[in-house]
Amino acid sequence: MNKFWPIFFMFWPILAIVSFVIAPSMNWWFPGPAMSPLGQQIDNLFYLILVIVAVTFVGTHVAMGYALWRGVDNKGQKAWFSHGSHNLEILWSIAPAGVLMFISLYQLDVWMEFRVKSHFPEGTTPVAEVTARQFEWRIRYPAPGKKLMTTPQADDLYSVNDLHVPYGRPVSIRLRSMDVQHAFFIPELRVKQDAVPGTVIPVWFEASKPGEYDLACAELCGWGHYKMRGRILAENETGFERYMETLQAEQNFDGVTQPEHSGAQIAEYGIEDSQ
Amino acid sequence: MNRSITIILLCAALPLVGCDSTRAPSFQLSEQSEGLSSFAREKVQGELNAGFGSPADLVVWSELEVDFGQYSGNVKKVSTKAGMLRIGEQSDDDETATDDKEPVYDGLAAVSGLASARRLSELQGAAVVISRAQPKSAAEAESDDGEESAAVTQTPQVYRVASYDVAKQELHVVDADGDPAQMDVSAGDSVQILGSALQHGRNLYLRHCMHCHGVSGDGAGPTAQYFKVKPRDYRHGIIKFTSTKASVLKPSNKDIFRIIKLGVPGTYMPSFMLLPDDEVKLITEYVRWLAMRGEMERKLNAWLVTSYSQEAVDEADSASELQADFDTEWSEDAGDNIERFGNDLKLDWQDADKPESVVNPTVPRTPSSSESIVRGRKIFLSKEAKCASCHGETARGNGPSTEAFNDLPGKPPGTKSDKPGLFDNWGNIVKPRNLTTGVFRGGRRPIDIYRRIHSGIKGTPMQAFGTTLKEEQIWDVVNYVLSIPFEEKQGGH
């Protein structure tokens, strides 16, 4: 019975460690591997911090468990009174401060690359303006072959909830909000950025593989927050260009002139009226 | 002390009370029907229940122009266990093979097409109709008479699907009381499952649409009260943004589909772009069905409201005499009228889906040029088109009509509003679109704007100009409208 409390207190940290160890295999971990170079760097930072924290956590708990366990039997022995020890105070102030300083300096490059426009990777192309609104993502692309302008242009192309981007190179969006705060979140690319009304925030990302990525709103924005599901479709250059041309044909459709490309987009809507 | 114990006990009892989840969802009668006398209202309610049922118990009224969802096949083999059908793809070739593999059947039917249905889990509650096969000799004898033979079947037995086990291909069937059905079936009987699409549509509607558009499609769901732009009340059978001509009252299936997919920019209607197409189609059918239910109620109302409103009862010398009159009129005319109303609904909605009902210009869009835009602007300001009287000379949606007392749409001509402004059929003030913002609710494609001008916006004071303007003129206006958001700001504007 004497050992009950040491065992009780040690059970929880062990449970914590076990659940961390089995988490990836139980699918309690990240939403898949990072699908972008920056996402990989962010994951690496996460793992670095996880290792630091894990070593500290395990170390303190082993020490505490040992002390508890030993204390059960040595009732006669007097404890060492360490309160007020100047050396110890200095040690446990400087060591964590050093660790924190290391982390904050070490992550600075990734942070700058992610958030500071002048440090965006070279060749980052603005592909679209994404305007969050309750409860959807409205997207404005420049016409094929043109640059994205800061104000709407007559030949801009529009879409909603469905952002197409080329993969394998960095692209950026102009993130805006029409009403309240939203957050542009692509879990698989490890991109999360609040959309703030009144500001335009550039966000860049790069999908390393073609495919569909979820786009979610990560800021509770109202009762329909859960409805703000979108998707990022990363395609190769030809696929992306064809999509833009299809979108252009769709958007200029006058009911008479047949669109040159009757591609995926029009078929997907199932909405073309004249056969 | 006693008081705190009471409070604690009361709080502890809260989970037992819950949030009133026991209340079954129901279709509400419209405000109009509330004005009917109690006896007339009862009949209207009864008629709607018979034709449409309740949200939990939908009725397949085959007269309506709705895809209710239907699978059919024949009974293959009879078993003794109650309330269970085994179903699979019907195929004449493997009939014996299946028998060999599974000599003991729990159930009996092979229903073709059902196994390939996309979501069998959504069948729950759908009607199972089993009709007796005709004796062979009789069928052969009547086959000469062609179609008539089909009419001479016995009354079909109607049950409900309790559940469906996809892996075992077992269909569990219950009767009206929810007990396993005691079916009187034999091999060769035909089996139909009806209403599965409507039910699936209802489930999706309740999940995605109901909180704004309401259980009855009245646009008064729990979240609707926070909106300045009200969600559509389908019960008038009117959808504003359609591709159909002005003379066609209803939207086409595609119109509703497109609105759900793309949303309505500038309103609270979000885009459901990522819902699979087939789910959007099911929601479309359910929305159309809700609209038809509302229209049926309106038609019944229009018939009864003049003579049998609550007001009429209050003013009548003898209420019981009026009720007697009503009973006579109802028993004489109700059958015919309801059939006629149903038929009207069918024709109206059928009309909307005909290819010739869609507005399709024959002349391609005039390429946008400053000449075309100037011509369009002239038409915009002209006396014939009078666009500026509502949209304003600078197209900001602030024309003089917005300050005038106007005729109410959907009412007899000359019925004026008691407040200044433009009203829609739902009784809300509508603002003419401010065309400078670049937000187009009905879509921004040239064809969308063309159709808005050609057939107007249904249920609103936006008129149809398809007859007053030539196609080229409409294209000029389209070019002008699309250019407005990019106009250079002029002094004085």
Q: How confident is the model at residue B315 (pLDDT cuts 50, 70, 90)?
A: confident
The per-residue pLDDT for B59 is 84
Regarding whether A188 and A68 lie in a shared domain, the answer is no
Regarding whether A130 and A110 lie in a shared domain, the answer is no
- Report yes or no on B374 lying in a domain: yes
- Report yes or no on A243 lying in a domain: yes
- Neighbouring CB atoms inside 10 A of B139's CB total 13
Regarding whether B318 and B434 lie in a shared domain, the answer is no
Regarding whether A191 and A147 lie in a shared domain, the answer is yes
pLDDT at B363 over 70: yes
Answer whether A269 sits within 8 Å of B261, measured CB to CB. yes
Answer whether A153 sits within 8 Å of B450, measured CB to CB. no
Q: How confident is the model at residue B28 (pLDDT cuts 50, 70, 90)?
A: confident
- Report yes or no on B84 lying in a domain: yes
Q: How confident is the model at residue A46 (pLDDT cuts 50, 70, 90)?
A: very high
A-chain residue closest to B353, CA distance: A273
pLDDT at B254 over 60: yes
Tokens of B67: 């895809």
- Report yes or no on A272 lying in a domain: no
Domain that holds residue B160: 70-137+155-194
A207 and A189 in contact (C-beta within 8 Å)? yes
B-chain residue closest to A214, CA distance: B274
Answer whether A160 sits within 8 Å of B447, measured CB to CB. no
The per-residue pLDDT for B84 is 53
Facing A161 at nearest CB: one of B271, B482, B486: B271
- Report yes or no on B313 lying in a domain: yes
Answer whether B270 sits within 8 Å of A224, measured CB to CB. yes
Facing B263 at nearest CB: one of A136, A223, A253: A136
- For A28-32, A89-93, B174-178, which range has the lowest pLDDT when averaged over its residues? B174-178
SS3 assignment, position B84: strand
pLDDT at B411 over 80: no
**A269 to chain B: which residues are within 8 Å by CB?**
258, 261-262
Bridge-based pairing state of the strands B190-194 and B70-75: antiparallel
Interface mutation vs chain A, best among B271, B452, B477, most A CBs within 10 Å: B271
Answer whether B261 sits within 8 Å of A271, measured CB to CB. yes
- Nearest residue to B433 via CA among B459, B470, B394: B394
Regarding whether A224 and A207 lie in a shared domain, the answer is yes
pLDDT at A265 over 50: no
Regarding whether A62 and A173 lie in a shared domain, the answer is no
Tell me the DSSP string of B450-485.
HHHHHH--TTSS----TTTS-HHHHHHHHHHHHHGG
A121 and A134 in contact (C-beta within 8 Å)? no
Facing B363 at nearest CB: one of A135, A256, A273: A256
Burial of A4 (0-12, 13-18, 19+ CB in 10 A): exposed
Answer whether A273 sits within 8 Å of B360, measured CB to CB. yes
Answer whether A160 sits within 8 Å of B444, measured CB to CB. no
- Report yes or no on A81 lying in a domain: no
Regarding whether B77 and B171 lie in a shared domain, the answer is yes
Burial of A251 (0-12, 13-18, 19+ CB in 10 A): buried
Cβ partners under 8 Å of residue B67, min gap 6: B197, B285
**A136 to chain B: which residues are within 8 Å by CB?**
263, 270-271
- CATH number of the structural domain spanning residue A194: 2.60.40.420
- Report yes or no on B307 lying in a domain: yes
Number of domains in chain A: 2
pLDDT at A198 over 70: yes
Answer whether B446 sits within 8 Å of A223, measured CB to CB. no
B-chain residue closest to A212, CA distance: B274
The per-residue pLDDT for B104 is 29
Regarding whether B308 and B289 lie in a shared domain, the answer is yes
The per-residue pLDDT for A175 is 97
Interface mutation vs chain A, best among B207, B273, B278, B450, most A CBs within 10 Å: B273
Report d(CA B424, CA A264) in Å as an integer: 37
Instruction: Provide the shortest C-alpha distance from residue B258 to chain A (in Å).
Output: 7
Regarding whether A195 and A165 lie in a shared domain, the answer is yes
Tokens of A182: 């939203």
- Report yes or no on A160 lying in a domain: yes
More confident position, B149 or B168: B168
Tell me the DSSP string of B244-310.
B-TT--S--HHHHHHHHHH--TTSS----TTS-HHHHHHHHHHHHHHHHHHHHHHHHHHHHHHHHBH
A-chain residue closest to B445, CA distance: A251
pLDDT at B24 over 80: no
- Report yes or no on B5 lying in a domain: no
Interface residue ranges in chain A relative to chain B, Cβ cutoff 8 Å = 134-136, 138, 152-154, 158, 160-162, 223-224, 227, 229-231, 250-257, 268-271, 273-274
Give percent of chain B with pLDDT exceeding 90. 36
A-chain residue closest to B275, CA distance: A229
SS3 assignment, position B95: helix
The per-residue pLDDT for B134 is 58
- Report yes or no on A93 lying in a domain: yes
- Report yes or no on A99 lying in a domain: yes
Determine if the peptide bond prior to A135 is cis (ω within 30°).
yes
- Domain boundary residue, one of B323, B357, B391: B357
More confident position, A266 or B279: B279
- Neighbouring CB atoms inside 10 A of B381's CB total 14
Q: How confident is the model at residue B73 (pLDDT cuts 50, 70, 90)?
A: low
Tokens of B303: 């018939």
Average pLDDT over residues B20-33: 76
pLDDT at B147 over 70: no
pLDDT at A250 over 50: yes
3-state secondary structure chain A: CCCHHHHHHHHHHHHHHHHHHHCHHHCCCCCCCCCCHHHHHHHHHHHHHHHHHHHHHHHHHHHHHHHHHHHHHCCCCCCCCCCCCHHHHHHHHHHHHHHHHHHHHHCHHHHHHHHCHHHCCCCCEEEEEEEEECCEEEEEECCCCCCCCCCCCCCCEEEECEEEEECCCCEEEEEEECCCCEEEEEHHHCEEEEECCCCCEEEEECCCCCEEEEEEECCCCCCCHHHCCEEEEEECHHHHHHHHHHHHHHHCCCCCCCCCCCCHHHHHHCCCCCC
Regarding whether A185 and A61 lie in a shared domain, the answer is no
SS3 assignment, position B372: helix
Regarding whether A126 and A102 lie in a shared domain, the answer is no
- Report yes or no on A79 lying in a domain: no
Instruction: Provide the shortest C-alpha distance from residue A18 to chain B (in Å).
Output: 35
Element (DSSP H or E) covering residue B9? helix B2-17
- Domain boundary residue, one of B357, B385, B409: B357
**A250 to chain B: which residues are within 8 Å by CB?**
445
Query: A52-89 burial string, b = 16+ CB within 10 Å, else e?
Result: eeeeeeeeebeeebeebeeeeeeeeeeeeeeeeeeeee
The per-residue pLDDT for B102 is 33
Answer whether B450 sits within 8 Å of A255, measured CB to CB. yes
Regarding whether B343 and B208 lie in a shared domain, the answer is yes
- Please write the tens of the pLDDT for every residue from B83-117: 555 443 333 433 333 333 332 233 334 444 454 44
Regarding whether B396 and B327 lie in a shared domain, the answer is no
Regarding whether B482 and B396 lie in a shared domain, the answer is yes
Report d(CA B284, CA B258) in Å as an integer: 10
**Averaged pLDDT score across all residues of chain A:** 88
pLDDT at B167 over 80: no
Answer whether B446 sits within 8 Å of A252, measured CB to CB. yes
- Report yes or no on B10 lying in a domain: no
Token pair 């709407």 in the structure block, residue = A152
Distance of CA B326 to the CA centre of its chain: 30
Instruction: Provide the shortest C-alpha distance from residue B142 to chain A (in Å).
Output: 43
The per-residue pLDDT for A74 is 77
* Number of Cα atoms under 13 Å in the Cβ half of residue B321: 6
Phi, psi of A12, rounded to the nearest 5 degrees: -70, -50
Report d(CA A268, CA A263) in Å as an integer: 9
Regarding whether A42 and A177 lie in a shared domain, the answer is no
**B257 to chain A: which residues are within 8 Å by CB?**
270-271
Regarding whether B296 and B240 lie in a shared domain, the answer is yes
**A251 to chain B: which residues are within 8 Å by CB?**
444-445
Regarding whether B259 and B167 lie in a shared domain, the answer is no
pLDDT at A209 over 60: yes
Regarding whether B212 and B350 lie in a shared domain, the answer is yes
The per-residue pLDDT for B313 is 84
Tokens of B259: 């609105």
- Report yes or no on B421 lying in a domain: yes
Regarding whether B190 and B206 lie in a shared domain, the answer is no
The per-residue pLDDT for A271 is 39
Token pair 């000599």 in the structure block, residue = B103
Cβ partners under 8 Å of residue B466, min gap 6: B245, B246, B359, B453, B454, B455, B474
Token pair 């009949």 in the structure block, residue = B43
The per-residue pLDDT for B164 is 67
Report d(CA A24, CA B329) in Å as an integer: 73
Answer whether A162 sits within 8 Å of B273, measured CB to CB. yes
Tokens of B268: 């609270």
- Report yes or no on B262 lying in a domain: yes
- For A61-70, B20-29, B257-266, B463-472, which range has the lowest pLDDT when averaged over its residues? B20-29
Domain that holds residue A233: 121-266
Facing B447 at nearest CB: one of A223, A255, A270: A255
Answer whether B257 sits within 8 Å of A231, measured CB to CB. no
Q: How confident is the model at residue B413 (pLDDT cuts 50, 70, 90)?
A: confident
Answer whether B446 sits within 8 Å of A231, measured CB to CB. no
- Neighbouring CB atoms inside 10 A of B318's CB total 9
Average pLDDT over residues B165-190: 69
Report d(CA B207, CA B200) in Å as an integer: 11
What is the number of CB-based contacts under 8 A between chain A and chain B? 84
**B368 to chain A: which residues are within 8 Å by CB?**
154
The per-residue pLDDT for A125 is 93
Regarding whether B321 and B408 lie in a shared domain, the answer is no
Q: DSSP alpha helices (H): ranges in B355-403?
A: 370-381, 387-391
- Domain boundary residue, one of B322, B357, B392: B357
Regarding whether A143 and A61 lie in a shared domain, the answer is no
- Sign of the C-alpha dihedral, residues B428, B434, B439, B440? positive
Instruction: Provide the shortest C-alpha distance from residue B484 to chain A (in Å).
Output: 10
Average pLDDT over residues B157-165: 74
Report d(CA B233, CA B217) in Å as an integer: 6
More confident position, B403 or B156: B403
Answer whether B257 sits within 8 Å of A271, measured CB to CB. yes
Interface residue ranges in chain B relative to chain A, Cβ cutoff 8 Å = 208, 211, 223, 243, 254, 257-258, 261-263, 265, 268, 270-271, 273-274, 277, 358-365, 368, 438, 444-447, 450, 475, 482-483, 485-486
The per-residue pLDDT for B162 is 74
Facing B262 at nearest CB: one of A160, A223, A227: A160
- CATH number of the structural domain spanning residue B404: 1.10.760.10
**A223 to chain B: which residues are within 8 Å by CB?**
211, 223
- For B32-36, B124-128, B336-340, B399-403, which range has the lowest pLDDT when averaged over its residues? B124-128
Average pLDDT over residues B160-181: 70
Regarding whether B212 and B317 lie in a shared domain, the answer is yes
Regarding whether A95 and A131 lie in a shared domain, the answer is no
**B265 to chain A: which residues are within 8 Å by CB?**
138, 160
Number of domains in chain B: 3
pLDDT at B82 over 90: no
Regarding whether A250 and A152 lie in a shared domain, the answer is yes
Long-range pairs for B203-210: beta carbons < 8 A, 24 or more residues apart = B203/B122, B204/B275, B204/B279, B204/B282, B204/B283, B204/B286, B205/B283, B205/B286, B205/B287, B205/B290, B206/B25, B206/B55, B208/A227, B208/B272, B208/B275, B208/B283, B209/B283, B209/B287
Tokens of B244: 């159909």
Tokens of B216: 């009855």
The per-residue pLDDT for B18 is 63
What single DSSP character describes residue B319?
A: H
The per-residue pLDDT for B169 is 60
